[in-house]
């Protein structure tokens, strides 16, 4: 039963049915979403910018179209939250950094154009780790993000604001970016679905780059069905992004989800039971049994190259970040210190970058600069060698298996003041996720269970290049068998 005027926590499919049945208008849904955000987001910190006026204006136009009997699109009237490193025309895009605190893009990223053309409404820009550098969403220059399931825990990073907005029921769809697991890590910690597509499957035009050979934009939702629908709209070649590719055929992902998984072969690396929280290992084993009961052949195998990935990722991503962020000097782009009249140009640039960038970003810039020095180039060359090695290992693995199943994170959501070295440590937290970025394969995180303390546990499925259809189908099977998508975080103060 869909309650009129109370769309919080509804899926895309439920909202669309509500519009069709005239249970509520688009404006009523958007008003309700904005009310929940304005009333409940203060302790969560999921949003940096909330688009109250523009969202309501877009809703009114869609309602007018509905009144005329028009088709308002496959995402017509669906509120979407956008990670704040994806450019939005006339809406501030900060990357959660003082360096871009006042940057207002004059154009929309390609993914934003696609969503708007499909009828979606941008409800706001979500908080994140500064320039997407972090694994816990604790490096934002503006405010911390809390996990809606437990305010004392982090929501994962760097797409923590998008994941938290979904877990809190503010929106049914969000966009994130994934350089080393940022979509999937956040999805895991917040109990939602997050897809890192095949590299090049979704345009990156308008994404503020962290590491261009690793970055990928992807959808985050509360259900696999919604994720499939969003991906079907976002995928495809974009002439504005030379790294994007044609996605062969027109595949109706959402309608193909229930075609079954019988006959698939899934491999689970034995390394997944090493240095992993016990409750996460239990969820992984349960998922393996569920797949076997569904007619999937499950086999354990060894993938030792996986443990080489985090170090290689840190070197490569830092080197690319150092190069990409060099343009932010306060003169051409970005924050400029109040002492702008300083005649010492080099000194002013140093001050601009020291004040504009946070500690974690500065650390990675220094590391990336270091490994690009001629006398230190062996570190970078070794990282590239490892990248090639894991690509070869993955190629061999997919000759044996259709999909690979792992935990998303080796640990449960933790407190911001942890003393385990996880806080900004993507190299440690990304043990299972960075493999997909280094190789370019697609990977998806979905809810796989809850700890005894009620914290979400995410499981990751990875597939061969451009196998998102198979990936989503297998994820849908597990989701339906586990039934975890029906659970929503209870946010203090919510009376809806």
pLDDT tens-digit profile of 404-420? 999 999 999 999 876 56
Q: Is residue 357 part of a domain?
A: no
* Mean pLDDT of all residues in 12-39: 95
Q: Is residue 424 part of a domain?
A: no
Given 137, 140, 158, 177, the catalytic residue: 158
Contact criterion met (CB below 8 Å) for 449 and 285? no
Alpha carbons 210 and 115: distance in angstroms, whole number: 23
Q: Which two tokens stand for residue 237?
A: 């070649």
Given 83, 116, 196, 235, the catalytic residue: 83
Q: Is residue 428 part of a domain?
A: no
DSSP state of 208: P
Task: Find the range with the poorest average confidence among 92-96, 322-326, 492-496.
Answer: 492-496
* Mean pLDDT of all residues in 439-462: 97
Q: CA of 449: how far to CAs of 223, 304, 456, 480, in Å?
A: 14, 26, 6, 13
**Strand, coil or helix: what is 297?**
strand
Q: Is the pTM of this model over 0.85?
A: yes
Q: 83 catalytic, yes or no?
A: yes
Contact criterion met (CB below 8 Å) for 461 and 471? yes
Q: 182 catalytic, yes or no?
A: yes
Contacts of 289 (CB under 8 A, 6+ apart): none
Please return the burial class of 246, using the count of CB atoms within 10 Å of its CB with bins 0-12, 13-18 and 19+: exposed
pLDDT of residue 29: 97
| Range list of β-strands (E), 230-360 | 265-269, 297-301
Given 159, 162, 177, 182, the catalytic residue: 182
Please give the tally of structural domains in the chain.
1
Give the residue among 299, 294, 303 at the shortest CA–CA distance from 441.
303
pLDDT of residue 346: 85
Query: 241-297 pLDDT, tens per residue?
Result: 999 999 865 556 666 788 889 999 999 999 999 989 999 999 999 999 999 999 999
* Mean pLDDT of all residues in 127-131: 97
Q: How confident is the model at residue 175 (pLDDT cuts 50, 70, 90)?
A: very high
Give the residue among 281, 309, 308, 269 at the shortest CA–CA distance from 396.
269
Q: Is residue 283 part of a domain?
A: no
* Mean pLDDT of all residues in 71-77: 96
Q: 286 catalytic, yes or no?
A: no
Q: What phi and psi values does residue 123 have, to the nearest 5 degrees?
A: -95, -20
Beta bridge partners of 218: 176
Q: Is residue 429 part of a domain?
A: no
pLDDT at 109 over 50: yes
Q: Is residue 232 part of a domain?
A: yes
Q: Is residue 463 part of a domain?
A: no
CB atoms within 10 A of CB 388: 12
Q: Is residue 216 part of a domain?
A: yes
The radius of gyration of the chain's CA atoms, rounded to the nearest angstrom, is 22
Tokens 């009249």 belong to 341
The CATH number of whichever domain residue 131 belongs to comes to: 3.90.1300.10
Maximum CA pair distance of the chain?
A: 72
**Residue range of the domain that includes 147:** 12-259+470-486
Question: Residue 236 — left, alpha, or beta (φ > 0 → left; ψ -120 to 50 → alpha)?
Answer: left
């Amino acid at each position: 039963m869909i309650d009129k005027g109370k769309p919080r926590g509804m899926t895309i499919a439920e909202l669309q049915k509500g519009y069709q049945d005239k249970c509520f208008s688009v404006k009523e849904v958007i008003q309700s979403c904005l009310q929940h955000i304005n009333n409940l987001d203060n302790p969560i910190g999921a949003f940096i910018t909330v688009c109250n006026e523009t969202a309501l204006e877009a809703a009114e136009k869609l309602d007018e179209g509905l009144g005329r009997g028009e088709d308002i699109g496959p995402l017509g009237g669906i509120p979407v939250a956008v990670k704040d490193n994806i450019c939005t025309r006339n809406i501030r895009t900060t990357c959660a950094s003082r360096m871009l605190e006042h940057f207002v893009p004059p154009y929309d990223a390609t993914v934003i154009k696609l969503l708007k053309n499909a009828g979606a409404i941008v409800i706001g820009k979500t908080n994140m780790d500064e320039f997407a550098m972090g694994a816990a969403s604790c490096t934002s220059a503006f405010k911390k993000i809390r996990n809606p399931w437990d305010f004392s825990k982090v929501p994962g990073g760097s797409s923590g604001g998008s994941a938290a907005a979904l877990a809190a029921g503010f929106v049914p769809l969000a966009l994130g970016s994934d350089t080393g697991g940022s979509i999937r890590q956040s999805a895991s910690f917040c109990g939602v679905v997050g897809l890192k597509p095949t590299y090049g499957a979704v345009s990156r035009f308008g994404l503020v780059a962290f590491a261009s050979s690793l970055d990928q934009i992807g959808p985050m939702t509360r259900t696999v069905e919604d994720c499939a629908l969003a991906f079907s709209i976002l995928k495809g070649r974009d002439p504005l992004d030379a790294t994007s590719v044609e996605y062969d055929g027109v595949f109706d992902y959402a309608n193909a989800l229930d075609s079954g998984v019988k006959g698939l072969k899934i491999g689970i690396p034995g390394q997944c039971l090493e240095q992993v929280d016990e409750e996460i290992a239990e969820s992984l084993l349960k998922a393996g049994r569920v797949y076997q009961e569904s007619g999937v052949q499950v086999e354990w195998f060894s993938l030792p190259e996986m443990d080489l990935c985090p170090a290689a990722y840190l070197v490569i991503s830092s080197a690319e970040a150092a190069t990409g962020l060099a343009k932010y000097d306060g003169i051409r782009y970005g924050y400029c210190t109040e002492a702008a009249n300083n005649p010492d140009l080099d000194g002013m640039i140093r001050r601009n970058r020291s004040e504009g960038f946070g500690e974690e970003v500065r650390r990675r810039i220094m590391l990336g600069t270091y490994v690009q020095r001629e006398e230190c180039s062996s570190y970078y060359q070794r990282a590239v060698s490892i990248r090639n090695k894991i690509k070869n290992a993955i190629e061999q693995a997919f000759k044996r298996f259709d999909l690979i199943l792992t935990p998303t994170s080796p640990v449960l959501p933790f407190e911001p003041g942890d003393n385990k070295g996880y806080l900004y440590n993507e190299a440690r937290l990304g043990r299972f996720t960075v493999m997909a970025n280094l190789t370019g394969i697609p990977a998806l995180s979905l809810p796989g269970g809850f700890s005894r303390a009620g914290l979400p546990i995410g499981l990751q499925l990875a597939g061969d290049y451009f196998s998102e259809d198979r990936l989503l189908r297998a994820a849908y099977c597990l989701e339906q068998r586990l039934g975890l998508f029906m659970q929503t975080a209870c946010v203090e103060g919510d009376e809806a």
